[in-house]
């Protein structure tokens, strides 16, 4: 059966991966969207601001017209190309509804005329529009300062005589001498860019505050693999993070209890088994049949080795205390000398001092297990030490039969063996590599096995050159031969 997969769209690839990036995009996009949604409010306010100067000039011209009418000047002499007054017996029909911008302009005209006349004026706005010098509608261009703003006013006001003065006026605001790009740039900078930067700063502060408990939880989870006995995580922060911290602490305590119970159980079993095994060994010595006696002694030795391996496996669940800087090359020299002194064929050409941080006794245990395996299955071992920017690698090679490729991915699991150490051979219990891997991973390192091209097995133990290596170094890489 085939499963169809969908390739992520371009927007998925552009979506930031960090919480800060995602929150910044959401906050900035939301803020700008809200700005656009409330643009109608800006439109009304800006509409009134643009027409404020023309409205006041029209009000001054209207007051001047009223004074001339009071002095008996003829109406025909008061009209011009941009200002046309006329007297009406009854008012003209007013529009059913003015928008917010037009209502603001009406209020400005009424306030300016009332101030100039000295008493309240009854005024109704019939129409007002923004046009350019050619009479074409240029509302948005005028609001942004990209063209001349010419206000076309049509209003009427009630006179003391009961008549109505109807005025149609065209009044220019004036022109901003700055280039259009500078006006738009200044507007975009102050309204949008500064707003976006402020929102990003707010998002950064919010993310730093809200994710502080999360980062603490991540560090605690990372340290749990090195030391299960670490102090409990502080229960603080938002409700969700407090619940996560409480759950983490409960899980850690359950693991501690489980490891302790397992160790105690195996220790008790070991203690109970060693006594009868010791008695059996004493009684076996009295058997006259040498062949039978040798077989029984071998079986008793295997049972004792199994008990020791089980205890070692149980005790390797937690990282030993006492991490300190030590010379890895010097430690290898000591381990190799021990094997050579007992007749082991171990080749090691030495290396300059390599100082790393860790538990020297545990690393000695790993080296001993790996070299002992090589001697057991191949009769010889060759060690090499390599130093890279982030890692120090100890390579152990042998000329033995190796391990079948299909068994490599699982051979480091507990109680799993390669075909060279099948149960029928009566050697090993499949715990040595598992214990070695646990110790190396507790040091934030990695242990890898692969078959050599010319035959034999190659084991590489890589340890970080500094204590702050990332947790990803604990991943075990399986290599094909």
Q: Among 23-27, 250-254, 471-475, which range has the highest average pLDDT?
A: 250-254
| Average pLDDT of the chain to the nearest whole number | 77
| pLDDT (mean) for 221-239 | 76
Does residue 166 sit in helix, strand or coil? strand
At residue 185's C-alpha, the angle toward residues 45 and 105, to 5°, is 15
Compare 9 and 24 and report the one with higher pLDDT: 24
Beta strand 346-348 pairing with 381-387: parallel
User: pLDDT-derived band of residue 90, with 50, 70 and 90 as boundaries?
Assistant: very high
Compare 143 and 399 and report the one with higher pLDDT: 399
Residue 404: predicted pLDDT: 80
Percentage of residues of the chain with pLDDT beyond 70 = 74
Q: Residue 391 has which token pair?
A: 């890692």
Distance CA 460, CA 436 (A): 12
Asked if residue 402 has pLDDT above 80, the reply is yes
Residue 480: predicted pLDDT: 31
Residue 309: predicted pLDDT: 62
Asked if residue 155 has pLDDT above 80, the reply is yes
Give tens-digit pLDDT for 168-220. Answer: 999 887 555 555 456 556 666 666 677 777 777 887 787 777 777 777 888 88
Give tens-digit pLDDT for 248-304. Answer: 888 888 888 887 777 777 777 776 777 788 888 888 888 888 888 888 888 787 777
User: pLDDT-derived band of residue 143, with 50, 70 and 90 as boundaries?
Assistant: low
Q: Among 128-142, 162-176, 203-217, 365-379, which range has the highest average pLDDT?
A: 365-379
CA-based nearest residue to 453, from 479, 481, 477 = 481
Residue 1: predicted pLDDT: 41
Compare 88 and 365 and report the one with higher pLDDT: 88
Q: Among 219-228, 274-283, 386-395, which range has the highest average pLDDT?
A: 386-395
User: pLDDT-derived band of residue 145, with 50, 70 and 90 as boundaries?
Assistant: low
Percentage of residues of the chain with pLDDT beyond 90 = 18
Which of 108-122, 173-187, 341-355, 400-414 has the lowest average pLDDT?
A: 173-187
pTM of the complete model beyond 0.95: no
Are the CB atoms for 229 and 318 separated by under 8 Å?
yes
Does residue 70 sit in helix, strand or coil? helix
Residues with Cβ within 8 Å of 460's Cβ and at least 6 positions away in sequence, in order, are: 393, 394, 395, 396, 447, 448, 449
| pLDDT (mean) for 106-127 | 91
Residue 163: predicted pLDDT: 92
Which of 104-118, 219-233, 412-426 has the lowest average pLDDT?
A: 412-426
Residue 232: predicted pLDDT: 84
Residues with Cβ within 8 Å of 311's Cβ and at least 6 positions away in sequence, in order, are: 266, 267, 270
Distance CA 105, CA 125 (A): 8
| pLDDT (mean) for 222-243 | 77
Give tens-digit pLDDT for 424-462. Answer: 333 344 556 777 888 888 788 888 888 888 888 999 999
Are the CB atoms for 443 and 358 separated by under 8 Å?
yes
| pLDDT (mean) for 141-163 | 79
Residue 21: predicted pLDDT: 76
Residue 122: predicted pLDDT: 92
Place of tokens 């094997």: 339
Q: Which fold has domain 222-318?
A: Helix Hairpins (1.10.287)
Residue 472: predicted pLDDT: 35
- Residue 159: how many other CB atoms lie within 10 Å: 15
Provide the CATH number for the domain formed by 322-474 in this structure: 3.30.565.10
């Amino acid at each position: 059966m085939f499963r169809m997969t969908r390739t992520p769209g371009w927007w998925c690839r552009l979506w930031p991966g960090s919480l800060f990036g995602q929150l910044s995009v959401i906050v900035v996009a939301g803020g700008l969207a809200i700005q656009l949604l409330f643009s109608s409010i800006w439109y009304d306010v800006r509409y009134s601001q643009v027409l404020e100067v023309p409205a006041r000039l029209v009000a001054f011209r209207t007051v001047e017209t009223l004074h001339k009418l009071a002095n008996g000047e003829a109406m025909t002499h008061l009209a011009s190309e941009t200002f046309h007054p006329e007297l009406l017996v009854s008012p003209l029909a007013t529009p059913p509804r003015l928008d917010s911008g037009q209502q603001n302009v009406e209020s400005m005209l009424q306030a300016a005329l009332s101030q100039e006349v000295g008493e309240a004026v009854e005024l109704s706005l019939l129409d007002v529009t923004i046009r350019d010098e050619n009479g074409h509608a240029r509302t948005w261009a005028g609001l942004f300062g990209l063209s001349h703003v010419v206000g076309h006013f049509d209003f009427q006001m009630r006179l003391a005589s009961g008549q109505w003065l109807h005025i149609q006026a065209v009044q220019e605001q004036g022109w901003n001498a700055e280039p259009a790009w500078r006006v738009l740039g200044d507007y975009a900078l102050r309204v949008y860019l500064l707003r976006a930067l402020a929102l990003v700063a707010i998002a950064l502060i919010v993310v730093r505050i809200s994710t502080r408990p999360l980062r603490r939880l991540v560090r605690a989870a990372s340290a749990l693999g090195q030391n299960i006995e670490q102090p409990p995580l502080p229960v603080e922060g938002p409700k969700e993070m407090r619940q996560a911290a409480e759950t983490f602490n409960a899980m850690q305590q359950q693991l501690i209890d489980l490891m302790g119970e397992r160790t105690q159980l195996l220790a008790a079993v070991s203690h109970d088994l060693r006594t009868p095994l010791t008695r059996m060994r004493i009684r076996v010595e009295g058997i006259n049949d040498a062949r039978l006696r040798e077989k029984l002694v071998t079986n008793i030795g295997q049972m004792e080795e199994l008990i020791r391996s089980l205890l070692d496996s149980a005790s390797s669940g937690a990282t030993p205390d006492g991490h300190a800087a030590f010379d890895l090359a010097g430690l290898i020299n000591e381990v190799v000398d021990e094997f050579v002194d007992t007749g082991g064929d171990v080749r090691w050409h030495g290396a300059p001092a390599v100082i790393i941080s860790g538990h020297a006794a545990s690393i000695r245990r790993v080296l001993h297990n790996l070299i002992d395996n090589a001697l057991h299955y191949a009769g010889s071992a060759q060690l090499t030490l390599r130093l890279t920017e982030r890692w120090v690698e100890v390579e152990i090679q042998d000329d033995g039969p190796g391990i079948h490729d299909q068994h490599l991915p699982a051979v480091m699991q507990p109680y799993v063996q390669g075909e060279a150490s099948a149960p029928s051979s009566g050697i090993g219990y499949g715990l040595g590599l598992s214990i070695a891997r646990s110790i190396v991973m507790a040091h934030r390192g990695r242990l890898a096995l692969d078959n050599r091209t010319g035959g034999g097995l190659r084991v590489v133990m890589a340890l970080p050159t500094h204590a702050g290596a990332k947790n990803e170094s604990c991943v075990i890489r399986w290599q094909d031969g």
